[in-house]
Amino acid sequence: MGQDDHQCGKPGTTVAELNLSIEVIAILNTARRYCMSFSNASRLYWEDAIDVAVAEFGDARGPEIAVAVLNVPRKMRSARRSNFIFYSPYCPACSAKVTPDEERLIRTIQATRLGQSGSAEIDAMILCEGNGTHQFLQAVKRLVRVAGIEGVRPTKRVS
């Protein structure tokens, strides 16, 4: 996992341009904190990840969703050889954008939620760098299911 060196002025796709649902934005924000923990194990960013999931999904569902989010990058890391590049969730300018890796992860989640297994598999293959995708895709499917977004068309986030 590799943070994008905090380049706030770097151009890129914005989260707003992706027209993501509130749930997927919460998943992204949770995942970014787990990625921060992977890249800097001495900090307890994973605690913040759990806090975000609980705040966004509630006390009853938040912990289970937090674990499901954690398993997605964990399974990807076991297949991927290079760093997964992500933006810091703690910088307002950086967190308003997505890296190409993050955008591909979001596309995998979106395709899975809509039952587009072929599209999900293609993005997963790229994210896993041609290595095994089965465990990663199983983790994405479980996340989509426990987050309650399976079969739900993405709706625009209310600003």
Mean pLDDT of all residues in 129-144: 97
**Rounded to whole angstroms, how far apart are CA atoms 14 and 24?**
14
Number of structural domains (the chain) is 1
pTM, two decimal places: 0.89
Q: Is residue 154, in this structure, part of any structural domain at all?
A: no
Band of the pLDDT at 1, cuts 50, 70, 90?
very low
Calculate what percentage of the chain has a pLDDT beyond 70: 90
Mean pLDDT of all residues in 73-96: 93
Q: Is residue 152, in this structure, part of any structural domain at all?
A: no
Q: Is residue 102, in this structure, part of any structural domain at all?
A: yes
What pLDDT, on the 0 to 100 scale, is given for residue 74? 95
Exposure pattern of 106-134 as b/e (b: 16+ CB <10 Å)? bbbbbbbbbeeeeebbbbbbbbbeeeebe
Tell me: pLDDT of 156 over 60: no
Range of the domain at 119: 2-146
Distances (CA, A) of 43 to 40, 46, 48, 66, 76: 6, 8, 10, 18, 21
Mean pLDDT of all residues in 49-60: 96
Q: Is residue 10, in this structure, part of any structural domain at all?
A: yes
Band of the pLDDT at 159, cuts 50, 70, 90?
very low
**Rounded to whole angstroms, how far apart are CA atoms 57 and 59?**
7
- Alpha helices (H) in the chain, listed in sequence order: 22-39, 45-79, 92-95, 100-113, 117-127, 134-146
- Give residues with Cβ within 8 angstroms of 134, minimum separation 6: none
Q: Is residue 109, in this structure, part of any structural domain at all?
A: yes
Band of the pLDDT at 151, cuts 50, 70, 90?
confident
Long-range residue pairs from 44-47, CB within 8 A, at least 24 positions apart, any chain: 46/70
Mean pLDDT of all residues in 103-111: 97
